[in-house]
């Protein structure tokens, strides 16, 4: 079973983490999230009940085009395209080019795991990474 690990962090913390990785001060572990949202609310919008149903439909029916998915889901193609592009930005969907240049949606994960820190330990660690910088010579 393939799992997408998702984390929640505000913009400044995500930036600090990315910069620390870039400076070689932090090496992400295998259990760390690979996709980040700025809030639980934004996560909930992208993975709303309706969108989870859409992901299940894609995984189960494997439509060969957005037009076929629109027909299967009863959603307008333009709205569907926007939703899928948002999901693709977060890695929830892959949009591959099929025959005739059509976009073919695929779901690369069986499940999603949301990693939310309930303590300040994780936040403090990210904060330290933001303010630590390589020593000046």
User: How confident is residue 133, by pLDDT bands cut at 50, 70 and 90?
Assistant: very low
Q: What is the pLDDT, as a whole number, of residue 69?
A: 97
Q: What is the pLDDT, as a whole number, of residue 18?
A: 87
Q: For residue 20, how many other CB atoms are within 10 A of its CB?
A: 20
Tokens for 63, please give them.
């439509």
pTM confidence score: 0.78
Q: What is the pLDDT, as a whole number, of residue 1?
A: 79
Tokens for 136, please give them.
């000046």
Average pLDDT of the segment spanning 57-63 = 97
Average pLDDT of the segment spanning 80-93 = 96
Average pLDDT of the segment spanning 30-57 = 93
Which domains does the chain show, CATH number per domain? 3-131 (1.10.10.10)
Of residues 34 and 57, the one with the higher pLDDT is: 57
pLDDT for residue 4 is more than 60 = yes
pLDDT tens for each residue of 35-48: 999 888 999 999 99
Q: What is the pLDDT, as a whole number, of residue 122?
A: 59
User: What is the per-residue DSSP string for 77-105?
Assistant: HHHHHHHHHHHHHTTS-EEEE-GGG-EEE
pLDDT tens for each residue of 91-131: 999 999 988 889 999 999 999 999 877 665 555 565 556 55
């Amino acid at each position: 079973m393939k799992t997408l690990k998702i984390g929640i962090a505000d913009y400044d913390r995500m930036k600090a983490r990315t910069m620390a990785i870039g400076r070689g001060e932090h090496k992400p572990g295998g259990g760390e999230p690979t996709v980040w949202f700025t809030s639980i609310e934004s996560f909930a919008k992208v993975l709303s009940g309706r969108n989870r149903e859409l992901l299940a439909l894609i995984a189960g029916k494997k439509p060969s085009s957005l037009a076929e998915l629109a027909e299967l889901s009863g959603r307008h193609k333009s709205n569907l395209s926007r939703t899928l592009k948002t999901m693709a930005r977060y890695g929830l969907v892959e949009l591959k080019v099929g025959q005739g240049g059509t976009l073919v949606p695929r779901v690369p994960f069986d499940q999603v795991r949301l990693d939310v820190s309930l303590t300040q330990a994780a936040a403090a660690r990210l904060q330290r990474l933001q303010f630590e910088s390589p020593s000046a010579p």
